[in-house]
Structures are given as structure tokens and as C-alpha cells.
Amino acid sequence: MRIRRFRSHLIVSGMDPVRQMRKTIHLYLIKPSHYDDDGYVVRHWRGVLPSNTLACLAGLTEEAIRQRNLAPKYKIKVHLLDETVEKIPVQKICRSERWGLAKNIVCLAGVQTNQFPRACDLAHALRKAGVTVMIGGFHVSGYLALLREIPADIQALFDDGVTVVKGEVEETWGQLLEDAIAGRLELLYDFLDAKPDLYTKPIPVVRRKYLRRFVASNFGTLDCGRGCPFECSFCTIINVQGRKMRYRSAEHIAEAIRRNYKENGVTFYFFTDDNFARNKNWEAIFDVMIRLRTEEHIPVEFMMQVDVLSWKLKNFVSKARQAGCINVFIGMESVAPENLAAAGKKQNRVDEYRQLIQAYRDSDITSHVGYILGFPFDTVDSIRLDLKFLTEEVQPDHASFFLLTPLPGSMDHIRMQQSGKWMHPDFNFYDSQHEVTRHPHLRDGSWKETYFEAWKTFYSLSNMRAILRRGSRVNYWNNFLRFVWYKNSIQTEGRHPMMCGYFRLKGRKERRPGMPILPRREYYPKRAREIYGYLRSMFRVLTEMEELWLQTRYPSAAEQRVAEELAKLRGKYGQLKLADLQAAYMRAKVHFPTLRVPSKVQLFWAKWSPLLAQNKVFTRADLHAFWTGVRVRWDQQRWFHIPIHKVPLNLFRDVQLSVLFLLHVSREL
Ligand code: B12
Ligand code: SF4
């Protein structure tokens, strides 16, 4: 190992660290994003999943400031920044450091492999101004866990005076902060073998200001435990967090949930444990949550990740539902036993998959399976057959597809490296959505094509309709909204939903070093075309989802009452007067308060409500056919053949449907 033994802060400044100490300290906890294929930083107007690492480090910081009594000595301002939803003010931080306005400490947090190149670029830029920079997370931890040599990119960080932290810091964060403030940071900290006991460690802290950048601001994250006892070869968790399970105290978790509910309105959690079913404290955690829901009336719900054997644990599924679980993510990975065997996933039994999904469905918990493409025995044809089996036989409610990726920290990575097999040299592409190795049967782009085909097949109108009809009414909107998120990510941006948000933002100058900054005249027209493309695609997703809603929706109680009243008027449609209709609505106690609708709309509703109420299929297929006809004639320049007189009514019907649809969707958000 080649690490020069000097203190990172001294290298650049060359000054006595004690003299550098300033009163105001800005502590930036930054979750970096990554670059898209064009080299632009990926950022969205609104995100979907907040970062749990930021929440964890925020909790640890609060405690460190309290325990080490730092507040009287320094004015510490903590900034939580997530580059996937906001711009990082690199210039501002550098200016503040150069002008000596404050001491700035930047922690690049929870850096995953695909974010590592971006994190390095940020680190180097900040170091040029002398900012103290630390980097931690799964990439550096996993990468250094299995390698014997220090790789060149990490050495470059050391050379620039960046501190690399390997492992978890629940027991050492306070000391690291003090070292950073005092300018005595080492270049490498290795905590991998000193895994912290989490039982009474600070719980991740949720901040309302941060949550506002996400679609659902009632959404919090929490890791109730860490580690996993299994041995999958593509997984990095076991080599970083270990195979011995560690967990938090149930009472601590309850306290955090209570506080987050009262102070920040958080009612939904993503428990980020990789395998909640193997958390030895699961029952105690479920019990306190049941108590919170029933005795304290805190309407908390959550989703969690579990293994395929979880349904067999006595009381696990039923208690999970009582505790508020509405969705489980299951590492199914493949339906081909030979692939599972090759990945060391011995615990997965394909013949039990259907029972597993049904066990959760019976308890009104929706299932989401993780599915990997590119295992050794996969071919284009076998994947198609497997998908058919997955959708028709196993019948999960959701699926996420990933390309098999040798992530640093996994056994796959180290084996490939030892056998000298080709792996893509650019970590930016290690996001499970790019081909970074060579597959024996999936060549010439067919791997990625099959990947997109898998998304398309699973999220086809027919499969989504089948899922909604199969599921119970309580989960209708939970499933539906996830479909909107998934369809929009894959169809509009071609991005994995877990790396996507709503409406992609870009900065002309936020481009990967080495790639040209386009002149304005070139960049903006290109960007305008791109935005137009997004909007068109979002519109297409919206109409498709509207169709799905129309075909599957449950009528509301008010609608049912209207339908009953209108049924009494049936047969009189010919001579129906507006006053009769209004009287019927009054009797049903519906005054259309949400829409102050003109009389025509009421007539339209009068016609269709009974059909909807009887749960008969209703569709916007006629509208779709009409607009397609208009577009075709327009494109063929047969303008006189466009039935102009029908346009206003159809437009009106379409807008009305869209408004109703959006009203329903927004009510569920
Ligand atoms: C939750 C989660 C997500 C969420 C993230 C949002 C969220 N809610 O946090 C979602 C679903 C979006 C997600 C997506 C993905 N994920 Co993910 N995810 C996780 C998971 C299960 C938990 C993360 C977590 O909160 N851990 C708890 C925190 C506290 O741990 P931590 O980040 O390691 O931080 C600790 C230390 O590392 C250290 N530390 C961290 N940062 C810093 C910084 C400094 C300065 C210091 C001193 C210390 C320090 O202190 C922390 C406390 O001890 C992890 C697995 C895991 N067990 O961590 C996978 C994991 C991180 N994900 C992984 C992957 C591959 C992905 C995806 C690429 C998959 C995909 N295609 O969708 C995407 C990438 C998304 C992206 N580009 O951002 C891999 C990353 C491996 C790697 N080498 O990159 C992991 C490890 C799982 C795996 N399969 O191996 N993920
Ligand atoms: S079951 Fe999941 S978390 Fe556990 S080793 Fe396998 S992939 Fe990793």
C-alpha cells in the first residue's frame, strides 16, 4: 500500500492548522450524483427517494456536536446537499475558503461506484481552493475491502489531500469531525473491521427542507439494521457491512418515528436494511410500530427489503402488515435455477416464488422483485421465456430490472479482476444499466435491448391492468403511482427508476471535465429539442396511465350514489332536462364541489357515470382514435379532411378527463 503519511490539510496550505481554525464552520454533507452518457450531471427538479446516508450522517453530526460540546467553541452550520436534486455551490464554497470567511469541511457521502467519478471531480475542484474534503460510502469501502493494492484513482485522491474513509462511522464520526476542524485529518481511515454496534446509535434525522425537494415530502428513510447472512456473489453488502446482523433498538426507532411525525409530518418510511427479515429484532420493531399505530394513532406505513424465505418466518408477514408494511422488495434475481446457482443464491427456490408472492398479497402487501439480466446462462430467448414465467406464473406486482454488474466490493469483481477479464474502466457506468462486461451470449447491444424490452413487457398496459385487478382495493393507488413513476423514468428518460426523478434539469457548464462546454447557440436549441421530447413523452405516459385508470378504477361512494339515482332516470334520457339531472345529483348529495362544471359536463357525466359505477370497462380509445386520425391527416397535409367540427367537443372531453384523472392522482400523493 502506498500512502504518503502526511496530514491532508497541511499539504495544500502549508500552514499551522491551529492558526487556521475559524469561528464559523460550514459542514457540507454532500451526496454526489453521476454523469449521463453525454457527460452532464444528472439532476432532477424533484427526486423520488431521499438519501438515507445523508440522514444518518445528519443524526451523527447532531449527536457529535452535543456530546463533544462543540457548539460553544464553534458556530457550526450543517448543510445537507443532494446533487441529484440540487446544484452544489462549488464556487461559493471555494470562495468562502479562499477569502477566509469560514472553515469549510466537505463530506462526500454515501458515494456509490457510479457516483465515484463525479465525487472525485468535486473533491479535486474543492481541494484546489484548500477546502477540507472527506469521502466515504460503499464504493471506497467495498473497493478497498477486497483489493490488496491502492488503486490509482484513490491514490490520486490521497495525492490531492482528500481523506478517504473506509467503513461505518457511528462510533468515530465525532472524532473525525474534531480532526477535520483541527486540520489533523489522516489520509485514510479504516473502520471496516470495527463494525459499530447500532443498538443505541443516533437514528437518521429527517429534515423538512430537504424532503421538500422530493415528490412525496412525507417520505423518510431509516436503517433498522445492517448486514446479511447470505453469500450472493454479485453483492457488496456482505463484504462491507458483514454477514453478522446488527440492529437498532426498537424503542429508539419508535422515538424517531414519533418525532418525525410530529415535527416533519413523516408518515411513510423506506426501511433500507438489505434484509429486514434477518434483522434479529424484527418482531420487537413490528410490535412498537403496531403500538404507535393503534395506541398513539400515528398512521405510519413503510416498505422494506426481504429475502425469498421471509414469508416462512412465523408471523412475519401478518405482523408486518399490522405494523404498516405496504410493500416489500424481494431479491428474486432470476427464475432460472442454474443462474441462481451460478450467483451463489442458494436460498432462492423458484418453485416457491408464487407462494411467496401470494403470501404477501394475502396480507395486502404488494411485492416488488429485483431481477438481474446477464447471468451466465441468459440468452435473448431464455430471458423472454423467463419474463413470461415471471409475469404469468409468479405474478409480482412490480419488478425492477438490472444488468449484472461486477461492483467493486463484490466477489464477482474480484474474481473478474483476478482472471484478467475485461471490465469497463469508467466507474460512471457501473449503475446496473450499462454493459460493463462482455457476456458470452448477449452481444452487439442485445443485452441492453433485452433490458429495455423487459421493462416494456412488464409495464405493458395489459400486465399493469392484470396487476391492478388482481390486487386489493387498499393497494390500488400505491400500485398505480409506482407505475407512473416507473413508466415515466424508463419511457421518458430511459433511466432506471431508482436513479430518476421528475423532470430532468441540466446545467450547460455542469459537464464532465475533458468534455467540451458547448457554446450557448449550440446548447440551448439542443436543450429545447430535448425538453420538447420529454414533454411529448410525459404526455404519452399520462394518456397511457389515464387509460389504465379508466379501465381499472373503483368508483367512489358519491359516484355510486349518483349512479343509483341516475339508474332511476334510465329510459328517460331522450327527454331528460337539466333540472332532472340536477335534482338527481342533489338527491345523491353530490354537488360536484370539486369541479364547478358547466351543464354540458354534467350531461356527459350523466351519460357515463352509470357505466363507471357498474365497473364496466370505460376507455378513451375513441378519443385516441380521433386524435390519431387528425394527426395522420395533418401529416399527410389533407387538412380539409380533418373533421374540424368534432375537435372542440373531443378536446373538451379530453381535457375534462385529464383534469379528473389528475385530481384523483394528486389526491393520492
Ligand atoms: C437505500 C439504497 C438505495 C436507495 C438510495 C436512496 C436512499 N433511500 O438512501 C435507492 C433505491 C435509490 C438506491 C439506488 C441504487 N443503488 Co442502492 N442501496 C441502498 C442500500 C440498501 C442502503 C443505503 C443506506 O442507506 N445505507 C446505510 C448508510 C448509512 O450506509 P452508507 O451509505 O454505507 O454510509 C455509512 C458509511 O459508508 C459511512 N459513510 C458514508 N458516506 C460517508 C462520508 C464520509 C465523509 C464519512 C466519513 C463516512 C461516510 O458512514 C455511514 C454511516 O456509517 C444500500 C445497501 C446498504 N446496505 O447500504 C444499497 C447500495 C448502496 N446500492 C447500490 C446500488 C448498486 C444502487 C443502484 C446503482 C442500483 C440501481 N441500478 O438502481 C442505484 C444507484 C442510485 C444512484 N445513482 O444514486 C449498491 C452500491 C454498491 C456500489 N459499490 O456502488 C448497494 C451497496 C447495494 C448493493 N447491491 O450492493 N439504493
Ligand atoms: S440476500 Fe441480498 S443482501 Fe444478502 S447477500 Fe444476497 S444480495 Fe446481498
* Predicted local confidence at residue 548, as pLDDT: 95
Kindly report the number of other CB atoms within 10 A of residue 294's CB atom. Answer: 10
Cβ of 468 below 6 Å from ligand 1? no
Q: How far is the CA of 159 from the centre of ligand 1 (A)?
A: 26
Rg of the chain in Å (alpha carbons): 28
Taking the C-alpha atoms of residue 207 and residue 51, their distance in angstroms, rounded to an integer, is 11
* Mean of pLDDT over the chain: 90
Which ligand 1 atom is at minimum distance from the Cα of 274? 21
Determine which of 131-140, 144-153, 292-301, 368-377 has the lowest per-residue pLDDT on average. 144-153
The verdict on the CB of residue 274 being under 6 Å from ligand 2 is yes
What confidence score (pLDDT) does residue 554 get?
83
Q: What are phi and psi of 562, to 5 degrees?
A: -60, -45
- Packed helices 647-668 and 599-613: angle between N→C axes, nearest 10 degrees: 60
Mean pLDDT across the stretch 414-436?
97
pLDDT band at 15 (very low <50, low <70, confident <90, very high): very low
CA of 597 to the centre of ligand 1 (A): 49
pLDDT of 390-405, one tens digit each?
999 999 999 999 999 9
Ligand nearest to the CA of 409: 1
C-alpha cell at 111: 458515494
Residue 10 pLDDT > 50, yes or no?
A: no
Ligand 1 center to 431 CA (angstroms): 12
The whole-number pLDDT of residue 613 equals 46
* pLDDT > 70 fraction of the chain, expressed in percent and rounded: 90
pLDDT digits (tens, 9 = 90+) for 198-233: 999 999 998 889 999 999 889 999 999 999 999 999
At residue 559 the predicted structure's pLDDT band, cuts being 50, 70 and 90, is low
> Residue 1 pLDDT more than 50?
no
Give pLDDT, residue 16. 45
Q: Is 169 in the pocket of ligand 1 (CB under 6 A)?
A: yes
Atom of ligand 2 nearest to the CA of 238: 5
pLDDT at residue 590 greater than cutoff 90: no
Please tell me the number of the ligand nearest to residue 405's CA: 1
Q: What is the DSSP string of 625-647?
A: HHHHHHHHHHHTT-GGGS-GGGH
33 CB within 6 A, ligand 1: no
Q: What is the mean pLDDT of residues 631-636?
A: 94
Q: Which atom of ligand 2 is nearest to the CA of 234?
A: 7
CA–CA separation, 466 vs 397, rounded Å? 9
CA–CA gap between residue 170 and residue 56 (Å, rounded): 9
Q: What is the pLDDT of residue 279?
A: 97
Residue 412 Cβ contacting ligand 2 at under 6 Å:
no
Report whether pLDDT(594) > 70.
Answer: no
Q: With a 6 A CB cut-off, is 237 part of the ligand 2 pocket?
A: yes
- Which ligand 1 atom minimizes the distance to the CA of 237? 90
228 lines ligand 2 (CB under 6 A): yes
Write out pLDDT tens, residues 468-477. Answer: 999 999 999 9
Grade residue 608 by pLDDT with cuts at 50, 70 and 90.
low
